Amino acid sequence: MYRYERMSSTSAIKADKVDLESGDTLYRGLSYGENQLRWGFIRKVYGILAAQLVLTTVVSAFVVFSAPVNELLRGNSGILLFL
């Protein structure tokens, strides 16, 4: 579907001069749309990871700072092991 050319030693030298932050692509087969798709995927993965960290922090803060839940966990070590 996409054709990538083999990099030669002259291509490797050219790769050192490519500025990726300016929007240039390192490989000729990688277009601007594919680059945006890749960055969108990375944003999505980090968004999911951030949501999981926030949810974990909220649940653990609730368990630690809620007195009834804290007392329940101190009384039943089986529930504590399950969590």
Write out pLDDT tens, residues 34-72: 778 888 899 999 999 999 999 999 999 998 899 998 888
Q: What is the per-residue pLDDT for 58? A: 96
**What's the pTM?**
0.53
Are 27 and 4 a contacting pair, CB within 8 Å? Answer: yes
Q: How far apart are CA 40 and CA 45, in angstroms?
A: 9
Instruction: Sketch the domain layout of the chain as residue ranges.
Output: 51-82
Q: What is the per-residue pLDDT for 47? A: 97
Are 28 and 18 a contacting pair, CB within 8 Å? Answer: no
Write out pLDDT tens, residues 4-34: 555 555 555 555 666 666 666 666 666 667 7
